[in-house]
Amino acid sequence: MGEKAVVIAAPGGPEQLKLVDVDVGAPGPGEIRIRHHACGLNYIDVYHRNGAYALPLPARLGMEGAGVVEAVGEGVTHLSVGDRAAYASQPPGAYATARVMPAKCVLKLPDAIDFETGAAMMLKGLTVQYLLRRTLPQGGLQAGDFVLFHAAAGGVGLIACQWARALGLQLIGTAGSDEKCQLALDHGAAHAINYRRDADFAARVREITGGRGVKVVYDSVGADTWEGSLNSLAPFGLLASFGGASGAVPPINIGTLAAKGSVYVTRPTLFTHIATHQATQAMGNELFDMVAGGKVRIRIDKRYALADVAEAHRDLEARRLLGSAVLLP
């Protein structure tokens, strides 16, 4: 059977995404070959496609998937042929029927979790894990604390709403419609702000928190929300900027952090956190427990054939997707 993968020859719009024949080959030391049953779709894939995050060209896309291990390279001990497995990993290349890839970020998928859920949850779920469990304000987070989470009805956001509820946190979610706000509330957000109607979302945050502000803001929107995010923080609060869906954050005058109340800013990425197999496994175990235990349910809004990847990207960029989506090889 001929193998297929999605490749771009140059950065640009969804029309750049081409499904081509590829030779997969055998895994080398530290690698595995995996046959995908489902591939995840994430906003980082758009950044790779449009050149915001430059890749060597021609480039393959896709950062997460789930399937069955077909071959194991020398030195790989945590996976065996026939294992059900899932991953979020560099380098890109998950938009494919099968691939050879580094084994360190590939984890055994528990039997209680199906392939589509596995493909839809790894990058987003591990992102929520490192945010809510590892990217913490001074003194950490305790039950009852307020946090602000932008894009709360997206794939990452809906996982965050549920995980925050499980931790006892008061998550204030923002979204761009009443329907999306209701979805966030249904998934565990304590409050939801429609920022298209309440443009000054920071003022609403102050109302909700009795004037104090939140301990931490988790912001993947970037340029459009940056100022409001800073204005939503309590003294010594933390702004964790983990994406720029609306564009890059402008340069910061560091004196602003003093004026806003000795606040902190960080720009974390998932891939720093999953740099070793040990760290990936520990984070993955916590994610698997949340999902298998029913505390976090992964909403898959849409399924696309791998050949329809351009349509999937158009839907993703137009914010037509609620929750997660997967590509099916």
67-87: pLDDT as tens digits: 999 999 999 999 999 999 999
Residues 6+ positions from 274 with CB-CB distance below 8 Å: 88, 89, 105, 126, 280, 283
Q: What is the mean pLDDT of residues 319-327?
A: 87
Q: Given this model, what pLDDT does residue 1 score? A: 59
Neighbour-count burial for 185-206, b at 16+ CB within 10 Å, e otherwise:
bebbbbbbbbbeeeeebbebbb
Share the mean pLDDT of the chain. Answer: 96
What six digits make up the tokens of 99?
């691939």
pLDDT-based confidence at 265, cuts 50/70/90? very high
Q: In the prediction, which pLDDT does 321 show?
A: 81
**Residue-range domain boundaries for the chain:** 3-123+271-328, 136-267
Q: Which of helix, strand or coil describes residue 16?
A: helix
pLDDT(319) > 90: no
Beta-sheet pairing, 31-40 with 59-60: unpaired
Q: Mean pLDDT throughout 47-56?
A: 93
Nearby residues of 285 by Cβ (< 8 Å), 6 or more positions away: none
Report pLDDT digits (tens) over 201-247: 999 999 999 999 999 999 999 899 999 999 999 999 999 999 888 88
Residue 98 tokens, joined: 């099968």
Question: In this model, does residue 128 exceed pLDDT 90?
Answer: yes
Report pTM: 0.94
Residue 198 has what pLDDT? Answer: 86
The dihedral built from the CA positions of residue 269, 266, 134 and 229, taken in this order, carries a sign that is: negative
Percent of the chain, pLDDT > 90?
90
Query: Does 181 score more than 70 pLDDT?
Result: yes
pLDDT single digits (tens) 33-46: 999 999 999 989 99
Can you give the pLDDT at residue 244?
83
Of 56-60, 129-133, 222-226, which range is least confident?
222-226
Lowest-confidence segment of 139-143, 223-227, 316-320, 325-329 by average pLDDT: 316-320
Task: Kindly list the distances between the CA atom of residue 252 and the CA atoms of 195, 232, 239, 258, 301, in Å, as whole numbers in the listed order.
Answer: 23, 17, 13, 12, 37
Is residue 27 very low, low, confident or very high in pLDDT (cuts 50, 70, 90)? very high
Q: Are 74 and 5 in contact (CB under 8 A)?
A: no
Architecture of domain 136-267: 3-Layer(aba) Sandwich (3.40)
Phi, psi of 124 (to 5 degrees): -70, -45
- Signed CA dihedral, 251, 158, 86, 278: sign only: positive
| Percent residues over pLDDT 70 in the chain | 100
> Topology of domain 3-123+271-328, per CATH?
Quinone Oxidoreductase; Chain A, domain 1 (3.90.180)
pLDDT recorded at residue 29: 98
